[in-house]
A and B are shown apart, each in its own frame.
Chain A
């Protein structure tokens, strides 16, 4: 497990490097053609040609969401060690590393070195909630954190000293690339379903033993804003794709919107 955590970021950086070289070399590749996979802004993917005539992703022209994956395993790394046996133990399981997404504005790197280095911002004495001077953009409901209904606070998930890591129940480090290990601490039922492949998302080969890319928790869920106001939904709102074209001769869709007030 520790090995994996060491390697994770290196592989990611390697991949990022390769991607940027590829996009610089390809003349047809435009610069601003990023799409999002599940969470707008936090699961971005750069559209590029992976084989002649084959794009890595095909995106919706209206919402910028990915529609098709030319290669479902592009930019992925092995899922790494998991403590409990499941499908991922018997077949090739890959995930898209989260660290590059979180660190895309060098947030993770700078935070851990510039501020949370143990000196400038001292290590907190306890886990009790206190007014945050920063990070209100990331955690909009910081003082009444909805996540956990007041029972948890930053350092129940984040490592007190090493800000590039999450923690398990015993204070051991968890990589940002394996958030399931952290989330599973409380969300056991969902975690079980996820391991069984019936919660969350996988793409690739459906067959038993086939290679699959597993979506990890934070690719879809935002742990810092779990209720989105009062919607109480685990998934942030999105712009929908356009409605179907109305049948010929129909000028609007009022027929399906009225509650029959006129009829009665």
Chain B
């Protein structure tokens, strides 16, 4: 089931037997998978299946939640992300993130982009970086005349593209997207999806989504997660099936996957 289907490509992440606990609660159980380089990988599944939890393991954002604990190993280019000598701040410079709700800083559009570059000691021309990042996020034409205005003055869809521009400004290798379109209207969603197609040649993208059509449209790999209730009634997530997106949607190996992608539950 978990055989890796495209062995020829390079992998960015290798997840080995990862379980995530919040205090004593097991949110995610024993996940193993490999994330290919410069592809879009989608995580789908019903609420509470642990897909966002796993996503937050890749940039160690779970570290900030008191009581969160990760068992197993995640290798990033063969290096264990959770080894004691690894600095999570350093990791996050290489692995950017876009959140469910657009969360621009209450600063100018310009400063939103420049902030990450500034703290990470960017040595190039800041104006050029801001323009390049905004162009890459397909936002430049809409904001070029008002770079000094607040990032919060933009519409929801523009704010989310600003957040994507902010993430790519620090030149990461991976972009994690946690349901980036769930707070947006269909037109803004379409724009973000087009943007993802543009970005796939340069970045490894992992996207968590509730929207199966979105997974089908944007991703080349799809992982389906499900929940099981334990003896104590607590629900843990686990990885059901992980394969090429066409295969998950057309010829799923597991019954649960078949039922989920055909809309029987979820």
Chain A bound to chain B: no
Q: Interface residues, chain B, CB within 8 Å of chain A?
A: none
